[in-house]
Structure 1
Amino acid sequence: MSLAKRATLTAAIVLFAATSAMAVEGARGFFPAVEQERGRLVVHGATDIEAMEPLIRDFQQVATDVAVDYTDYVTNDLYRDADAACRNQQNFGDILLSSSVDQLVKLANDGCAVAHSSAETQDVPDWANWREEVYGFTFEPSVMVYHKDFVPPEDVPHSHGELTDLLRFKPDYYRGRIGTYDLRQSGIGYLLAFLDAQQASTTYGRLLESLSRVEAVLRCCNNAVLSEIDSGNVFIGYNILGSYAHAAALRNPKLRIVLPRDYTLILSRGVLIPRAAKRPDLAGRFLDYLLSERGQDVATRKAFFFSRTGPLPANVDGPPKLIESGIGRPIRIGPALLAAQDQLQRSSFIDDWTRLLRGTAGGKTP
């Protein structure tokens, strides 16, 4: 067996172990250089290897001499390790990716990032660029997902209010059948809940009461909730990132996706180059690729499925032009997100949420 074939086989084995049974946080994937390796990019991401693989492999068609070492994290673990490395002036990867952009903004604000400017970064919308240190490279609405075998057409919620009313009027049927994030484990779950509360505090409070009443199933992350829906253990998932939801719906056509009609939060997954990166040059090349027209095309077709400028995927129930409709509300990457990372406020928010969702009526966890 040739060296090239042996390297490809090794990568396939490592990647299969990492991505089987729906991507597992903490998994690692190694992608050998297409040609002779002259550099190695170390990526730490709170983004499933399944989603990043098409982008990494296409990047390597441009950077043929670059190998990529990728480790998948839960958002809170990524932030914890990156923060510790920064405070101790230690290396922690060459580039960080996370759906919890508030955590990346906090790292940048604490001096843990280096700025990067290029032709590709000039086209990034203002709401997806903070100080040229944190960039958003995806367009991912927060959606509701349901299993059509268990949710009749008349029950399908099309807004946060409709979901609240559904759970109030049919609590017995949906008890233990609604899934969402456990805010104590999930950084992105906390961020979306924090922003929900800002969008409509009264509506969100009523929704939390309804989730508690039906003993909502709480899980660490997107794929854990989607796995429960796929198996029929959970009927409806709330606040799921559209990219993961769409990927799950491609695997199981019985899963359906709804963009809430009152408002839909839109996340732009963040990317940051750590101050102590060993290969900031390779990190900059990869960041530019992610923001490039080519990278955005691959992301839309093969990885994250939603485009800032294009139409919604065919199987998604929502307005054709999300932002123009006024329904889509992008999460602005910037100092306002630091409020979500204020320790006292964060602790108070999660404690209040826990008391309600984990009270005598609600909050089933594994």
Structure 2
Amino acid sequence: MCHARIPRALRGGLRLLALSLLAWPALASAFEIEEQKRFDAIGVEVAVLKVISTADTDLFAPLIHSFQERNPGISVDYSEASSGEINKAILAGAGFDVAISSAMDLQTKLANDGHARSHRSAQTERLPAWANWRDTLFAFTQEPATIVVNPAHFEGLSIPRTRQELITLLRENQERFRGRIGTYDVRQSGLGYLFATQDSRASEGFWRLAEVMGGLRARLYCCSSDMIEDVASGRIAIAYNVLGSYAQARKDLADRIEIIEPEDFTTVMLRSVLIPSTAAAPEAAGAFVDHLLLAAWGGPEAATRAGYPFPPIDLSEQTARRPIRMGPGLLVYLDSLKRGRFLAEWEDAVLQE
């Protein structure tokens, strides 16, 4: 049986309709956990704190241990999940006491829609206004979106320092880099979607870069850690919009990767924490939030004592870094129609036939 080929323009319209019907974020009763680990109380258990987070368990473990040293009666159940799954869990009222996510837009929407408890303390009062949204959502990191490369693939070439240099490099060396570029699959990754929408607002060059990567059959990923591994192994040569904090944490790969903060502008994500309105242990949750904020904002000594695993927060304005600000502006691209249009355009650029 012969099937008529659907024109590209019509395919884009059909995708837009489908994406609009699947409005994001959707309320779902089921959610997926990637990894779960229990950190037993040091002393007699008086409370169990249930944390759901996008941060790798191993990366966050030192912060949990230092929290338990100050609160020996609290056990911590730490569940690692994607930002989208965290959103589903909180909307479903799954009983978590703390939600930590790199997807600032989804966190802001949860707080804006009444799914976060208000929390005030000495630690929240010391935060700058841009790190505290309505006493419900708190920033405790500044993490740049970087380009990670494998220098071994650049023999005879200059490593790009801006997006335009990256575009030029790829256009002039198509055979060398075909199938060897990686970036987020923004349909699946909440953080990838956030970075992409912020890039598109900051520069028209984002769509040119997306088309170039699509023409070279870019590999699509769920998360930064997988991209970093593949750059280090040589499977890909370049990964775009990788979390710099994760790349810096891989000291074992330092001799095989180079981390670049784009000099034209570097988008900076603020990892945020909230206490869900359905938290069963709000007092323990408040103590944990304060512990994170003290580690982040209390200076080098506090960070060291807490085992804070992220680069220090940089308050200098004399850099190319552009922090994403928490607030209603982040909700624009969560509108189902706007999201549908963005994803349809992204698919046309990146998923070229």
| Bin for the TM-score computed over the shorter chain | 0.7 to 0.9
Deviation at 1:305, TM superposition (A): 3.2
Structure 1 match to 2:12? none
TM-fit CA distance, 1:323: 4.1
Match of 2:34 in 1: 26
Are residues 1:337 and 2:334 paired? Answer: no
TM-aligned CA deviation for residue 155 of structure 1? 2.8
In 1, Cα distance between equivalents of 2:206 and 2:344: 16
- C-alpha deviations, 1:318-341, integer Å up to 9, x for none? xxxx84224111110111101121
How does the TM-score come out when normalised to structure 2?
A: 0.86
Q: Do the aligned partners of residues 78 and 32 (structure 1) sit closer, same or farther apart at CA in structure 2, a change above 3 Å counting?
A: same
The structure-2 alpha-carbon separation of the partners of 1:263 and 1:294, relative to structure 1 and needing over 3 Å to count, comes to: closer
CA RMSD of aligned residues (A): 2.0
Q: Offset at 1:302? A: 5.1
The equivalent position to 1:47 in structure 2, one of 55, 58, 80, is 55
5+ long unaligned stretches in structure 2: 1-31
> Would the aligned equivalents of 1:93 and 1:274 in 2 still touch at CA under 8 Å?
yes
For residue 346 of structure 1, report the CA deviation from its aligned partner.
1.1
> 8 Å contact 2:100–2:273 — kept in the other structure?
yes
Counterpart residue number, 1:305 = 310
- Tell me which of 262, 265, 290 is aligned to 1:263: 265
Question: In 2, distance between residues paired with 1:56 and 1:295?
Answer: 17
Which whole-Å deviations, capped at 9, do the CAs of 1:42-71 have from their partners, x for residues lacking one?
A: 001111112111111111111111110000
Q: Compared with structure 1, are the counterparts of its residues 305 and 95 closer, same or farther at alpha carbon in structure 2 (3 Å cutoff)? A: closer
Q: What amino acid sits opposite 2:144 in the alignment?
A: P
**Counterpart check, 1:67 vs 2:67:** no
Change (3 A) 1:341 1:133: same
Distance 1:107 1:116 in 2: 15
Shift of residue 249, structure 1, vs aligned partner: 4.3
Residue from 130, 134, 140 that aligns with 2:133: 130
User: What is the deviation of 1:343?
Assistant: 1.4
Distance 2:156 2:54 in 1: 34
Residue 276 (structure 1) shift? 0.7
Secondary structure of 2:154's counterpart equals coil
Query: Where do 4+ consecutive residues of structure 1 move more than 6 Å?
Result: none
- Distance in 2, matches of 1:92 and 1:40, equals 11
Does 2:232 correspond to 1:227? Answer: no
Secondary structure of the structure 2 residue equivalent to 1:285 = helix
Going from structure 1 to structure 2, the CA distance change for 1:276 and 1:219 (only over 3 Å counts) comes to same
Kept in 1: contact 2:207–2:349 (CA 8 A):
no
Q: Equivalents in 2 of 1:198, 1:36: separation in Å? A: 51
Hey, what does 1:328 align to over in structure 2?
321
> What CA distance in whole angstroms lies between the structure 1 residues aligned with 2:137 and 2:155?
42
Could you tell me how far 1:254 is from its partner in structure 2? 1.4
Q: Distance in 1 between matches of 2:268 and 2:187?
A: 22
Q: TM-score, normalised by structure 1?
A: 0.83
Please tell me the residue identity of whatever aligns with 1:359.
Answer: Q
Equivalent residue letter for 1:246: Q
- Say if 1:32 and 1:185 are closer, same or farther in 2 by CA, change over 3 A: same
Contact 2:231 2:237 in 1 (8 A): yes
Secondary structure of 1:92 counterpart: coil
Contact 1:142 1:266 in 2 (8 A): yes
> Cα distance 1:188–1:225, how it changes in 2: closer, same or farther (>3 A)?
same
Q: Which has the higher contact order (CA 8 A, sep 6+)?
A: 2
Contact 1:128–1:333 (8 Å) recurs in 2:
yes
Tell me, in whole angstroms, the C-alpha distance in 2 between the residues paired with 1:232 and 1:293.
Answer: 36
Mean CA deviation greater in 240-249 or 176-185: 240-249
1:160 Cα deviation after fit: 1.1
Give the distance between the partners of 2:146 and 2:109, measured in 1 at CA.
26
